[in-house]
Each structure stands twice: as C-alpha cells, then as structure tokens.
Amino acid sequence: MKLSQNDTLLFIGDSITDCGRVRPVGEGGFGQLGSGYVAQVDALLSAVYPQLNIRVLNTGIGGNTVRHLKERWESDVLDLKPDWLSIMIGTNDVWRQFDHPLNPDQHVYLDEYETTLRELVQTTRPKLKGLVLMTPYYLDPNVNDPMRATMDVYGAVVKKVAEEFDAIFVDTQAAFDALSEHVYLSSLATNWDRVHPGSRGHMTLAREFLKAVGFSW
C-alpha cells in the first residue's frame, strides 16, 4: 500500500469526480464526498485500512476543463496541502468540441490541454508524496468513433505527463474496454451519455485507482 499513516488524499476533476460533493471541499460524513468513485475509495480505504487514518478530500467541479483547474489550482489544491493528489480531467476538454462545435471558446484543444496539465503537474509534484493521473474515457468500444478517438489522444497525453513526472498512471479507458467484452458499455452510463458513469462505472474507477496505489483486499 503506497499511502501512509495520516496521509491526505485529494481528488480533483470534473463532474465524474464531483458527483454532488459538498462545497467548498468535500470531506467526511455521509454524502460529503459525493456519490461517485471518490466516496467509494474513501469507504474502502477506511474499511480495509482503518489504522492508516487516511483523510480523503474532493474538489471536483462539474463541467470543468483543465483550463478551469488552472484557475482554481491554488485554492483547491495547493492551499489544502495534500500528501497525495489524483487528477482526472479531459472529458469536457474533448466533449465541448462535439456537443458545442460552434462555440470554440469552450474548446480546449490538445496543445493547451498538454501544456496546462504539464504546468500544473510540474508546479505541484515536488510538494507531494505521490501523484495519480487518471485518463479521461468514453464509454464506447468503437475506437473509430470520433469522440472516442479524440479521447484516446488526450489519454495518451496523460500517460506521457505521468511518465515525465514519476506519477502513477491509471488507464481508465482500458479498464472500461475490458468490461466491454461482457457488458454493453453505454449501459454503465447514466442517461446513456457515454460519459457519466452509474454505480458500476464508478466502482470500476475506484477499483482502478486502488489497484494503482497498492490496495490489497
């Protein structure tokens, strides 16, 4: 297990991370961390490793892109002084290019995405014990689907940045693709939007995160 006694673990991202968490910072009691993978990670850590007393925080905000993360990085990451940080961002950076194609002001193209993610990681990595970078994903096994193909390119950037800065890389798309051998992937999403996961999808994200940090059942 890579996390240590009394570590603070912070999750930041978009609506997939947010999941209705409380403001300004989700932490602790029932519903405070939201209803998604962050709450599941917290429950499993506290149930299996109660002796470690790990503090879990959630500062995800629905609709965010990496551009939004940069704007709030100091207050929602640096000021909270986490020991471990998990970043999952990129879904909206890609999605806005498809659902709002005529509004380029909302689009975060690949160059800006990579530059901004690298800047945030470079600034923060020396202050952390550990960093986890999770890819964005699209719940469609068809790699030729335009949005899926674009999401894969952004995921490759996450992998590259993780390798550059000694971060733990979590390939969420690969985890969902493995499930596609047994289930129709869109059925894992709420409203069949192929982006927002239901309980099974969130447990997949929680499982992949925990596997990456050495969680042992």
Between CA 29 and CA 26 the distance in angstroms is: 9
**Annotation marks residue 18 as catalytic:** no
- Tokens in use for 131? 């960093």
Return the SS3 of 2.
coil
Return the SS3 of 83.
coil
Which one of 7, 93, 140, 196 is the catalytic residue?
196
**Annotation marks residue 15 as catalytic:** yes
**Annotation marks residue 145 as catalytic:** no
Beta bridge partners of 11: 58, 86
How do beta strands 8-13 and 55-58 pair? parallel
Which one of 7, 15, 86, 140 is the catalytic residue?
15
CB 81, CB 34: distance < 8 Å: no
For 46-57, b/e burial (b = at least 16 CB within 10 A) is: eeeeeeeebbbb
Catalytic residue numbers?
15, 193, 196
